[in-house]
Amino acid sequence: MGEFTAEFPGDRMYVSNHMWALQTKGDLWRFGLTGYAVRLLQDVYFLEWTVEPPSAMKSRQLLGAIESKKAESDLYAPIAGVLVAINDAALADPSVVNADTYGEGWLFEMESREVAALLSPEGYQAHLIDAWEVAQRTIKGQANT
């Protein structure tokens, strides 16, 4: 977006809060941050989980927090389901999120059949375009006040 191209794998689903979702088997989904989110955050250096697996989760329920060079943000469950695993390797060394966001930098796994809110790659691309246009209007509006 802007001067950068937003590239993301076509083999997974996406969430409007800039997470990816990869179905690993049956109803098991692995989630991580998209490259777009990592670019915005810049240098993730801290992860904290406030919920331990296994835990029933509601969509948008607080899971933990992430800190980076640019921001500190809460992390929320992207769908309803059961949190079954967190990535202990990323917890021990969050820099893996920066280095391999679509691979070893995954964050957590959930078991769920409530996946209607997940976006196709094309749906996520449309979301990025819409979000970028809103961001640009906001920036221009703030710059003119």
Query: Is residue 62 domain-resident?
Result: yes
The count of domains in the chain is 1
Tell me the H-state helices in the chain.
Answer: 35-41, 88-92, 95-99, 121-143
Q: Tokens 């927090």 identify what position?
A: 65
User: The tokens 């989110």 sit on which residue?
Assistant: 37
pLDDT band (50, 70, 90) for residue 43: confident
Evaluate whether residue 41 is within a structural domain: yes
Give Cβ neighbours of residue 21 (< 8 Å, ≥ 6 apart).
12, 13, 14, 15, 29, 30, 31, 78, 79, 115, 118
Q: Is 5 a domain residue?
A: no
- Per-residue pLDDT, averaged over 76-100, amounts to 94
Residue 6 belongs to a domain? no
Predicted TM-score (pTM) of this structure = 0.85
User: Is 2 domain-assigned?
Assistant: no
Which whole number is the average pLDDT over 82-106? Answer: 94
Domain-located, residue 1: no
CATH number for the domain harbouring residue 61? 2.40.50.100
User: For residue 130, what pLDDT is reported?
Assistant: 78
Instruction: Say if residue 48's pLDDT is above 60.
Output: yes
The pLDDT, as a whole number, for residue 129 is 80
Residue 135 has pLDDT above 90, yes or no: no
Residue 79's domain comprises 13-143
